Amino acid sequence: MTDHTEEQELELEALEALFTREGEFEKLSSSSFRLSLVPCQDNEGTNHVAVTLSVQYSATYPDAPPEWEIQESKGLDSEVLQEFKKEVTEAMEREVGAPMMYTIAEFIQDWLRARNKPQQSMYDQMMNRENAGKSESSEDEDEDEDREDEPQYTGLGEKQLCAAAERCTKEEFERWAERFRQEMIDAGIWKGSAISGSRKGVLTGKQLFERDASLATADTSSAEAEADEDEESAKAKNGDGGAEKRMFWTDESLFDGADEDLPSD
């Protein structure tokens, strides 16, 4: 069975031997003491912060954390002191099971060294917060400017188009597409299903290349066939009047004697 009282007495003797500067360690009873800690020793630097703890051993210490409180502090506001209490409590809980106060004292001195700065007035604190806000705002503005400098994709809506007179109308495209499909069918390149827009039966580029040379004249033959179809359609639509109009343009007798009216050299 552990003799907690003996362990406590031995630790008190060790602390008294280690913290020998005036006012640094004070034994209050066989189970309590006061410990004053600063970040810098002797002439190492200026101590802008300091803390004094009052420690009371619990009955089962070191198998349980001691009871403690802050008696005095220097250069630490209430918010920082709350942080200090939280971190010291957590450090003590990690050390449960063995005498811990010298380890805790070193932890506190390191904590104080990290915060050993002159205490600022309320005005200085306010100005620091204001400057920090301006700095963050400036960084945000710089990021916005960087984003503005980056090229923005505008999509096809702002793409430069050709002149209106050069554009193909929907009706013109549909007529061309229909003729093209029919030409491909007539040439045997597409099957009949291709006219409905299906790609089934379409030959590959290699297959087109390997076909006979008659494909080279496919466009010309199709164009002639289309002209014949247009002529037959016009006959059916216009009747005799249409024939008379064509005769007018093909009657060479209308132009007989035209050369007689021309001035001679």
Fold of 4-114: Ubiquitin Conjugating Enzyme (3.10.110)
Q: Which amino acid is at 233?
A: S
What pLDDT shows up at residue 54? 97
| Rounded Cα–Cα distance for residues 170 and 182 (Å) | 18
> Dihedrals φ, ψ of 107, to 5°?
-60, -45
17: closest CA among 27, 3, 4? 27
Q: What angle, rounded to 10 degrees, do the helices at 101-114 and 4-18 form?
A: 40
How many other C-beta atoms can be found within 10 angstroms of the C-beta atom of residue 37?
21
**72, containing H or E segment:** strand 67-74
| Rounded Cα–Cα distance for residues 105 and 21 (Å) | 14
What pLDDT shows up at residue 102? 96
Pairing of strands 25-29, 32-37: antiparallel
Block means of pLDDT (10 residues each) for the chain, length 265 residues? Answer: 86 95 93 95 87 96 96 92 96 96 96 88 72 73 68 62 76 88 86 52 59 54 61 58 47 52 53
What pLDDT shows up at residue 189? 84
Written as six digits, the tokens of 68 are 């403690």
CA of residue 146 relative to chain centroid, distance:
14
| Portions of the chain given CATH number 3.10.110.10 | 4-114
Residues 6 or more apart in contact with residue 87 via CB below 8 angstroms = 111
Written as six digits, the tokens of 124 are 């200085």
